[in-house]
Structure 1
Amino acid sequence: MDTTTSSRRWIQLLLGLIVMMTISSPQYVWTLFVKPFQTTTGASLAAVQVTFTLVIVLQTFFSPVQGWLIDRFSPKLMIALGALLSGAGWVAASYAESLLALYATYGLLCGLGTGIVYVGIVGLMVRWFPDRRGFAVGVVAAGYGMGAMITTFPITNLMAATDFRHTLLVFGLVLGAVGLIAALGLRAPRPGEMEALPDTKVITAAGDTAPKAMLRTPLFWLMFGMMAMMSTGGLMVVANFANFAREFGVADETLIFFGVAFAALPFALTFDRVTNGLTRPFFGWVSDHIGRENTMAIAFALEACAICLLLYYRQNAYAFALLSGLVFFAWGEIFSLFPSILTDTFGTKHATTNYGFLYMAQGVGSLLGGPVAALIHDAAGNWIPVFGIAIALDLLTAVLAFFVLKPMRRSWLGASRPAEHAALAKPAMV
């Protein structure tokens, strides 16, 4: 690969990162708008949280179609359209007066827009970086996790200075415009453009598996189930984080770090975005070296421990804020590890559409992460059962990664490329 091609793919990575950052706020800053929309619509918490579920479900359950459209038409134009839809969702939601209007604007437009962008960008990066797939996917996924980091405090401040409607309008226009401009510079690699790359330490499939054939394999459905379980636990925390903090009595406390005072809730939300972003390239890079399944087992078990500590220290504002960052650090890597291991296993030709099917697992998780978690809270009178479910799912998925997924994938790759597998299949590299 020549120097020009190498520079070109890093530019593509940068543009993909920028577009991902522009579509992260509809999911990760949603928690700040829950209470204002409850007041405006007079609806229950569970009813308002349906909006969040719609965002995730439309973002994920339509992703196979979105992936197919991106593969069939121009990735640049489809991703640009997605960025515009995401911004338009916020602009339209600023005028919503009822639950139905909220669902049709914030839920529908943001859900479809973010889905197009997310699947499209990941599909491009697994093609541009076959030798550093975990790291590259982690970088753009970090944009989705960290994009809200730079908007949380400005959104909080603008809401305090004006109101939530004006805030949605302003940020919808800005984020939509920036995403559109960056998306217009994207493209897929040309045939043969990514040849002569350094060897990867992770064994990959010799051929490409089409979506229809992939959906008939137990290996895919194991990955799907694991991602659904991890999404469920993580989204329970994401969707209800502000509610946790308020019920535990730490949301309005003042934290002082290095002589600077911060309100506990916006500080925690910002810190979480940092760790949720950093974990994606970090664990993606780790998985490029020690294997996807080994990395999954370590990270998922770490999240279970972090949630246990968060629950134990829930009434200490400092501990709550800092441990929430550890929870997000141990969760966000699913968005670099799962697309990477899927493409390693089933090839790059149908990578965007194939990942569209796997990405539906996050939609399954959202059905529990948003309104069902709120219903469990209402039934139990506290959040402890929700935390318990998240811990159990983390531990189960960690066990499946190491003891079930790892040998199943080794068997699959051995069947598809026996000679090469016999030479390369070392436990730490599979």
Structure 2
Amino acid sequence: MTSHNSSTGATRAEDQKRPGRLFYGWYVVAAAFAVTFVGFGAAYSFSAFVDALQQEFSASRGEVSLVFSIAGFLYFGLGVITGPLADRFGSRPMAIIGMVLVATGLVLAGFAQSLTQVYLAYGLGVGLGVGFSYVPSVGTVQRWFARRRGFASGLAVSGIGFGTLFMPLLAALLIGTLGWRNAYISLGILSAALGISMALLIVNDPRSRGLGPDGGPPLPPASAGGAEGAGLKQAVRSRPFLTLYCAGLIASFGLFVPFVHLVPFATDHGMSPGEGAFLLGMVGVGSTVGRFLLGNVADLIGRRTALILAFAGMSTTLVIWALSTSLIPLAIFGLTFGTFYGGFVALMPALVMDYFGGRNVSGIIGVLYTSVALGTLVGPTAAGYAYDLTQDYTLAILGSIAVNLVAALAVATLPRPDPGNP
């Protein structure tokens, strides 16, 4: 029986290598790309709605910023629950539920009659939706690849970059033509159509299709990407995990400040809402480049070294924001900051796989991302209230520079992954 199964798996693997036959792992990457495009595109389009929500509900910038912080806290924090659920029940149902929640939250936000209702609709809908879909989708990609894991992970999460590029621009266009309420409803319909259909392509483990990582024959259970590796409790008590957790927590206090406040910053300095959305789009362009560039570079120089570079790069580029008040230098900031941010997003899941293996990869990523959840809850809101007090973003930007430097130093203390992992 074992020989027959092995032979069947080898045959399927050979089928995948025939000319014109695409390895199914790339369909999983495409599905994860679409899920992150929809989820994070919906989340990061929030910056385009800040001014409209302030005017509609006579709210301060700090109060409006809390909408995004609630969503961010939930979508990073919920991975601690949805990651283990995906390891046990599969990633596809989690991703589908997530896309339904994102779409529902956007539509309900369009009908909100108070800022509290926006907190509940957008904050809970988008927050829970991305929380259900992000970690399971990205975690699954790690199982399908070994040799090209950095590139595949970067390609999957480049959906975040494309979402950051297109969704804020689309939101600004819809707000200008249809008003903010109909803009939210339209984005919700788009999210349902694209997100749910693509989530159906997710398959949890290559062995279920008679394959191994990268399209090879299926590995024995003890060596397969879905079975080998540390237990969840063992991983979270280890030094590498604790170091990555601290780095993620510290950096995330400043990491998402541009995603909420770059558009209002631009309009404060005389630029149009469309120009502000363009600047946020530049973050998306850079983010996409970073996922491809640093994902590939990391496979050569080591993912730990590349993560240090990502944190240090974000800190350096934030200096450009601190010194800029016009479109061109701010566009340069958006592009360069986004590049290093994209590298950070691509590298964290791949490093989890490097250090801890694939048996509990989604669960470990989920626990790790609670660090980012805590920082996201505090950072953008604190930046908004700092602006309300000073009518200036300098303090928030300087704080963001500092926390990214500290995160880079923390990762530099990490031991290298076991031999055989970059």
Is TM more than 0.5 here?
yes
Post-superposition shift, 1:244? 1.8
Post-superposition shift, 1:284? 1.4
Classify 1:61/1:151 alpha carbon distance in 2 versus 1 (closer, same or farther; 3 Å): closer
Please point out which of 320, 336, 349 is paired with 1:326.
336
Map 1:49-64 → 2, pairs under 5 A: 49-64=65-80
1 CA distance for matches of 2:375 and 2:342?
Answer: 14
TM-score by length of 1: 0.86
Please point out which of 371, 375, 389 is paired with 1:365.
375
Q: Structure 2: 5+ residue runs without aligned partners?
A: 1-12, 217-224
Post-superposition shift, 1:345? 0.3
The AA in structure 1 aligned to 2:265 is: F
Tell me how large the CA RMSD over aligned residues is: 2.2
1 CA distance for matches of 2:214 and 2:56?
Answer: 58
Please point out which of 138, 141, 164 is paired with 1:122.
138
Please point out which of 237, 241, 251 is paired with 2:271.
251
2 CA distance for matches of 1:61 and 1:196?
Answer: 30
The SS at the match of 1:332 is helix
> Number of residues paired by the alignment?
396
Please point out which of 373, 383, 393 is paired with 1:383.
393
CA offsets 1:61-90 (integer angstroms, 9 cap, x no match):
221111122222232122111111101110
Partner of 2:24: 8
2 CA distance for matches of 1:368 and 1:24?
Answer: 19
Post-superposition shift, 1:380? 3.6
Partner of 2:298: 287
Classify 1:148/1:308 alpha carbon distance in 2 versus 1 (closer, same or farther; 3 Å): closer
Partner of 1:315: 325
TM-score by length of 2: 0.88
CA offsets 1:389-412 (integer angstroms, 9 cap, x no match):
11112222222222x01x3x45xx
CA offsets 1:128-186 (integer angstroms, 9 cap, x no match):
11222211111111102212322333321221112110111111012112111111121
The AA in structure 2 aligned to 1:79 is: A
The SS at the match of 1:348 is coil
2 CA distance for matches of 1:188 and 1:150?
Answer: 29
Partner of 2:212: 194
Map 1:119-198 → 2, pairs under 5 A: 119-191=135-207, 193-194=211-212
Partner of 1:275: 286
Is 2:338 aligned against 1:338? no
Q: Structure 1: 5+ residue runs without aligned partners?
A: 199-203, 254-262, 414-420
Post-superposition shift, 1:195? 5.3
Post-superposition shift, 1:196? 7.8
Is 2:83 aligned against 1:67? yes
Is 2:84 aligned against 1:103? no
Partner of 1:256: none
2 CA distance for matches of 1:243 and 1:70?
Answer: 37
1 CA distance for matches of 2:164 and 2:244?
Answer: 28
Regions of 4+ moved over 6 Å: none
The SS at the match of 1:24 is helix
Percentage of matched positions with identical amino acids: 25
Is 2:235 aligned against 1:214? yes
- Is the 1:230–1:331 contact (alpha carbons within 8 Å) kept by the matching residues of 2? no
The SS at the match of 1:242 is helix
1 CA distance for matches of 2:279 and 2:197?
Answer: 31
Classify 1:148/1:238 alpha carbon distance in 2 versus 1 (closer, same or farther; 3 Å): closer
Deviates more, 1:54-63 or 1:265-274: 265-274
The SS at the match of 1:244 is helix
